[in-house]
Structure 1
Amino acid sequence: MFKQLPAEGYTGNPPEFPLPKMVRTYVEVIDKVRTVKPDNSATISLRRREMKIWREVWALPQGKAWSAPRYQWLWPSIAEYCRLKALVEKAPDANATLVAQLHRYRDQIGLTNAGMRELGWDIADDEVADKRAEAAAETKDKPTSSARDRLKAARAGS
């Protein structure tokens, strides 16, 4: 049996990000001595991106399911996905293993069709949005009246 997730997504607040801040570093070489130093700018940039991705994925339909107590075990994996996605985005030449790991996370947390099937989820049809789209298409196909016709109609209604 499939659990229907709302097509409009999850409107609640995401939980607190469950992973500690990852400190980014750089290597400084002075007189042939290598020293690893924290890179505050890179640390802040990565954390901001992680948090943005965290909020974005929680706004998806899957966020509704994740918010249920029975799926709290997924929260660390969702956070790891967000972190890895942020790291890969910051390194366009990221190694293929990291990129492949992103797909594994997507499956595990239900962001792919296969992952959703595995978790027993389906996204409900958004009938309201479908009707809105139909109405917009009908309006678009109708010829628009001229300013003169609108003025005549307004005078006739007075």
Structure 2
Amino acid sequence: MLALFCCAMRLLKVVVCMSRGGARNRSGPQPDPLSGRSDARGFSLQALPNEGFRGDVPEFPLPFPDVEGIGVRERQIWVEAWSFPQAAAWALEPWRWPVVAEYCRLKATVESNPAANASLVAQLHRFRDQIGLTPAGLKENGWAIAPVEVGPVVVSAPVEGGEVKRRLRAVNE
């Protein structure tokens, strides 16, 4: 059947364009947000709060599982995940919540079985990438955790020896 189709295509001189290559996730170097080319294209990373997400944790979107103990642990992981800086971006994209919930369920499953299948552990890593919990996942999603702002260093005046002795005497008494 396929041979007949190919012969007909040749007779009709029809050219079928098949897609080849193209942009794929992680193909080639990631854009550098500090480069001039990125500036020209308007590329920049969305800054996530380094102190974590302070908003309300949404309700867990998946049904309660039948497996004993998994449901409680997955909800603990859910609450913990919503304290991460990435949750500030998830809060703006409710379509990601089921994916984050599936990550929580898979993590609870892998934790409950130390001899978990290697493919489950690999899938857990893929979920972490997808929801931005790895450095590569942060870049893929166009996110960066804001740096911690450190205040200026304050140098205090040297303390006189007498004051130190007095404090030490008070401790020894």
Query: TM-score scaled by structure 2?
Result: 0.64
Cα distance, 1:150 vs structure 2: 8.0
Q: Could you report, residue by residue, the CA deviation over 1:25-70 in whole angstroms, capped at 9, with x for unpaired residues?
A: xxxxxxxxxxxxxxxxx2xx211111110011110000111111xx
Matches within 5 A, 1:71-150: 71-127=93-149, 130-131=150-151, 146=164, 148-149=166-167
Letter in 1 for 2:166: R
Quick check: which has more Rg, 1 or 2?
A: 2
Of 45, 68, 85, the match for 1:2: 45
State the partner residue of 1:48: 72
The higher relative CO (CA closer than 8 Å, separation ≥ 6) is in 1
Q: Could you report, residue by residue, the CA deviation over 1:9-37 in whole angstroms, capped at 9, with x for unpaired residues?
A: 0011111101001102xxxxxxxxxxxxx
SS at match of 1:61: coil
Distance 1:98 1:146 in 2: 60
Structure with the higher helix share, 1 or 2: 1
Cα distance, 1:146 vs structure 2: 3.1
Of 77, 84, 89, the match for 1:65: 89
State the partner residue of 1:14: 57
State the partner residue of 1:38: none
State the partner residue of 2:21: none
Cα RMSD between the aligned structures?
2.6
Matches within 5 A, 1:24-35: 24=67
Q: Which runs of 5+ in 2 are unaligned?
A: 1-43
Q: Which runs of 5+ in 1 are unaligned?
A: 25-41, 152-158
Cα distance, 1:103 vs structure 2: 0.3
Q: Could you report, residue by residue, the CA deviation over 1:70-94 in whole angstroms, capped at 9, with x for unpaired residues?
A: x211111100000000010000000
SS at match of 1:122: strand
Distance 2:151 2:75 in 1: 34
SS at match of 2:133: coil
Cα distance, 1:120 vs structure 2: 0.6
Distance 1:11 1:100 in 2: 30
Q: Tell me the matched-pair count.
A: 123
Structure with the higher strand share, 1 or 2: 1
